[in-house]
Structure 1
Amino acid sequence: MLQFLGNIEAKADAKGRIFVPATFRKRLQGANEEFLVLRKDIFQDCLVLYPGTVWEDEIETLRSRLNKWNKEQQQVFRQFVLDAERIEMDASGRILIPKRYMMLVGIEVDVRFLGVDDTIEIWAKEKLEKPLVDPDEFSVKLQELMG
């Protein structure tokens, strides 16, 4: 199973090209991942890169929980895939993030790649300057979950 860990700064060029950090790139290549899927996160103001096999598992799981003959559930599925785009890494290890995605999450130049389990998040750098959760609240929540 793929697992990514790290908080790595990078820069986007004027065309929206960004080098995928070497540690993440090596994991992807070692797992023979042929493509990535990019979509905006459902809850956070960031982008999520799914390795191809992880994306396929997510789609299979989502589809198995939805009835395609239920109009509302089919619309949820459509929205999930509508907001996704297949991304290829070039030979140099760069990906091209379409402008609309960069605008959605406020990415200009400075970004942070964040390894989150089996996906890679891409944040506008300044959005990760402060904790996502208040430190006191974080310790309480973690204790509730793990204690």
Structure 2
Amino acid sequence: MTTIVGQHECKADAKGRINIPTALKNKLLPFMNDEFVIKRAVFKDCLELHPKVKFDEVMQKIMNKGGRGKKFDLFLMKYTAGLKEVPIDADTGRLQIPKNLFDYAGISKEVVLNAQHDKIEIWDKDKYESVLDSMTDMEYEEMAESIFDADE
């Protein structure tokens, strides 16, 4: 799979439509004939956009690990809350964010698309900048050290 990376800025209109920047749209071309899944992020105050084929892999992993029971059912309910399958127009690169998810993420006009390997986070720009600022340089350096020094 092509790794999807990069930070891209765009604007949302009042109806929750955004135009995916060309550079990012080109990375998504292998998935354009399939739908995408948009959902609430688990650990962050943003949305996640997944190629459906990749999201299906995640769901299979969850179903294989989860088992059954009240806690699992509640997790699954919360994990998929508000989830929608959405197309991205292959010609224009336009994505319609469902209103409930648009409101949930508090997205205003300025949007940041933060592509991370096999998903794209969709952020309100001010919230994105605030989260980036929440990790101190020292915390960032310590985390980077623990990741990159782990192989040695």
Q: Give the TM-score, by structure 1 length.
A: 0.90
Give the gaps of 5 or more residues in structure 1: none
Q: Is the 8 A contact 2:5 2:115 kept in 1?
A: yes
**C-alpha offsets along residues 54-81 of structure 1, whole Å, 9 cap, x if unaligned?**
100010000000113x222122123222
SS of the counterpart of 2:107?
Answer: coil
Check whether the contact 1:33–1:52 (CA below 8 A) recurs between aligned residues: no
Q: 1:146 pairs with 124, 127, 148, which one? A: 148
Q: Structure 1 segments of 4 or more deviating over 2 A?
A: 30-33, 128-132
Q: In 2, distance between residues paired with 1:106 and 1:71?
A: 30
Matching residue of 2:65: 65
- Indicate if the aligned counterparts of 2:32 and 2:88 stay in contact, CA closer than 8 A: no
Q: What 5-or-longer segments of structure 2 have no aligned partner?
A: none
Q: CA deviation at 1:52?
A: 1.0
Where does residue 88 of structure 1 map in the other structure? 87
Question: How far is 1:32 from its partner?
Answer: 5.1
C-alpha deviations, 1:77-103, integer Å up to 9, x for none?
232223311111124110111222122
Amino acid in structure 2 at the alignment position of 1:62:
I
SS of structure 2 residue aligned to 1:44: coil
Alignment identity in percent?
Answer: 27
Give 1:144 deviation, angstroms.
1.8
- Report the counterpart of residue 98 of structure 2 in structure 1: 98
- Displacement of 1:107 in angstroms is 0.5
Distance 2:100 2:73 in 1: 24
- State the match for 1:34 in structure 2: 34
Q: In the TM superposition, what are the counterparts of 1:1-147 in structure 2 within 5 Å? A: 1-31=1-31, 33-68=33-68, 70-90=69-89, 91-130=91-130, 131=132, 132-147=134-149
Q: 1:100-138 CA deviation, whole Å, 9 max, x = no partner?
A: 212212101110111111101111011233425211210
Q: CA RMSD in A?
A: 1.6
SS of residue paired to 1:14? coil
- How many aligned positions are there? 146
Q: 1:23 to 1:33 in 2, by over 3 A?
A: farther
